[in-house]
Amino acid sequence: MSEALERAGLRVDPELGRFIEQDVLPGLEMTAPPFWAGLADILTRFTPENRELLAERDRIQGAVDAWHTERRGQKIVWPEYSEMLRRIGYLAPEPAQVRVGSMNVDDEVATMAGPQLVVPALNARFLLNAVNARWGSLYDALYGTDALPGKAKPGAYDAGRGAQVIARAKSFLDEAVPLASGRHADVTGWRVIDGALEPALKNSSAFVGYRGDPASPSALLFRHNGLGVEFAIDHGHPVGAGDPSGLADVVLESALTTIVDLEDSIAAVDGPDKAAAYANWLGVMRGDLVATFDKAGHVVTRTLEKDRAWLTPQGAPFEVSGRALLFVRNVGHLMTTPAVRLPDGSECPEGILDTVITSLIGLYDLRGISRFRNSRAGSIYIVKPKMHGPEEANFANRLFGAVEDMLNLKRHTLKLGLMDEERRTSANLAACISEVRDRLVFVNTGFLDRTGDEIHTSMEAGAMVRKTEMRTSQWIKAYEDRNVRIGLACGLSGKGQIGKGMWAAPDRMADMIDQKIGHPRAGASTAWVPSPTAATLHAMHYHMVDVFEVQSALAREAPPVLEQLLTIPLHHGANWSAEAIREELDNNAQGILGYVVRWVDQGIGCSKVPDIHDVGLMEDRATLRISSQHIANWLYHRICTEAEVDAALLRMAAKVDAQNAADPSYRPLLKDPRNNFAFMAARALVFEGRSQPNGYTEPLLHGFRAKAKLIVSG
């Protein structure tokens, strides 16, 4: 290992240092000494407070634990419980009316509603796919998934499946861009005459652009509920040739925004890992990211999509973005990283480092020296996860301000997306929003992390219900409803996104279409999807539901009361059978092992992981947190024994080994489980789960991954 670089009293990993000094700073015409001095100053100012906030988490958790321990076996009475939470500082005073004041927010975030992707920053191919998912073929999405009954015959184009797809797509068009009379299935051709479309639309203003000859256009562009719908017209195309109007495809504006993730979906445990992740963020900010890979025996090179050129109905040229607008998700306040060490030799807070470097890289976009523009409004969008309460939100706000000063940016250039995924943030959401109100552009729920914190916070209160029951618990509905209604009450609509969580099953699109319409109906202006294809299918929901109309109605409703949110999901004397307990343990153990084997052994933080029923689910650390905390809770309250947990881990190790048998890089768990870092990590997550800070998985995972990397590197 190369010696660390000495920079402004800091010890910087050589790979990270070279990346900053050779790849980032020269293009910005910045020199290294002032940058490192600025970073050192921010670390000096904010690291002690970062540590104090983490100590405050521990103090509050200790007080909650003590209260439950003293009253073990007693019914929790709301007035007593809420009084305790206020007394210890868990519940902050409700602020007076809060109004979000964020300015210079792009339309994709403020005034448009549509799908959102989350993509691991370490995978350049996936990242490019996600950035380029702004526009997606509806025909392809319907043809190649289970969105429609049946499936295409293998081999060449299946005309029968194609007819099924076309019929469904045109039915959708009849709803999204209806004709003044008749149906899209009956259209025999299109013309643009004196700025008007023939055949005419029910809403003539929905027609916004065309390409080609106005008498026989090659493409048409429509807008409905703020989203683009493109007709690709090609009589020579295999599909278009069989269509009366020559319609070869329907292309939907799909992923309006994409979150480039440095947190839960990646495994970045050291300087080289962080440098690689930052390098991909640099690539999309400069617009020059390239991924080359083999696909079916052919070398494929992927780059960022260009903007899409159109003519207005009157013939004037204009462009629409060809790419999703990008956020970057930094890590939270908990973790430190050896990528940069402080003068005393300790690791620097990773979240502080992320804020400085991702903002620095964002200057390429702000200064217009990138190939493509990300934010046309002049903002850098940073998602901040896993904050606990308003004091931590205030810390993030001041940290962002200090970075703006360091980089000579106007105040509130750095926009903040607030993940509402910790119990103390949910309970104090308005107060948290108040602390970041002039840079807030996003509130989003995170069911899995939030459930993990629910379990950990109330570990001493008793045994929790099974995970399937957890999804229908009173607090869950209150949590989701409060997030939307408090966001609306604070004036977030028209200023930023109100989001909902991930659909985890990328191969179950029919179920997604059936269920995920609930998100826009609940007032969410965006929701997470697992793939570009899913983004295109989910985009249909935003044509079916006018989200801003829904938000206007919901804004008049009061949020659920705090008691509903803080009702602990205890089992209340359920007498589960041995079979039910085994089933729950197996489900949790399989989820833990299936994810951990890739994280620890291969450094893959997000991938399609088969569940216990062999259904592929897009998993990140949040799944791990809820599963490990759930077993830890049952162990602690003697619902199960250590021997039963170990037996479940071994049973599921065999299943996970079988599920990964075709992967040549896979290290079998059962070959030597007691010396297998992935298996050891899984056990530690369970048996040490109760003592982990807020039930987080990162400290243990990072430790085992670092050990695995050392062995690989020799």
- Residues forming the active site: 329, 620
The CA distance from 554 to 567, in Å, is 23
How many whole angstroms separate alpha carbon 509 and alpha carbon 120? 22
Exposed/middle/buried for residue 100 (C-beta within 10 Å: 0-12, 13-18, 19+): buried
Q: Please, are residues 152 and 143 in contact by the beta-carbon 8 Å criterion?
A: yes
Q: Which long-range contacts (CB under 8 A, 24 or more apart) does 471-478 make?
A: 471/447, 473/567, 473/569, 474/564, 474/567, 474/569, 475/564, 475/565, 475/566, 475/567, 475/568, 475/569, 476/447, 476/451, 477/560, 477/564, 478/560, 478/561, 478/564, 478/565, 478/567
Q: What is the distance of C-alpha 600 from the center of its chain?
A: 21
Rounded Cα distance between 51 and 703, Å, is 20
Backbone angles phi, psi at 681, to 5 degrees: -65, -45
CA 3 – CA 614 distance, rounded (Å) = 45
- Say how far apart CA 400 and CA 387 lie, in whole Å: 14
CA–CA separation, 623 and 625 (whole Å)? 5
Dist. CA 497–CA 21, nearest whole Å: 35
How far apart CA 424 and CA 58 sit, in angstroms, is 13
Per this entry, what is the length of the chain? 714
313-321, Cβ contacts within 8 angstroms, sequence gap of 24 or more: 313/192, 313/195, 313/196, 313/197, 313/207, 313/208, 313/209, 313/210, 314/195, 315/195, 315/214, 318/209, 320/221, 320/228, 321/108, 321/134
Integer Cα distance of 399 and 563 in angstroms: 33
Spatial distance between the Cα atoms of 363 and 282, rounded to a whole number of angstroms: 10
| Nearest alpha carbon to residue 568 among 633, 622, 642 | 633
User: Which residues face 328 on adjacent strands?
Assistant: 260, 382
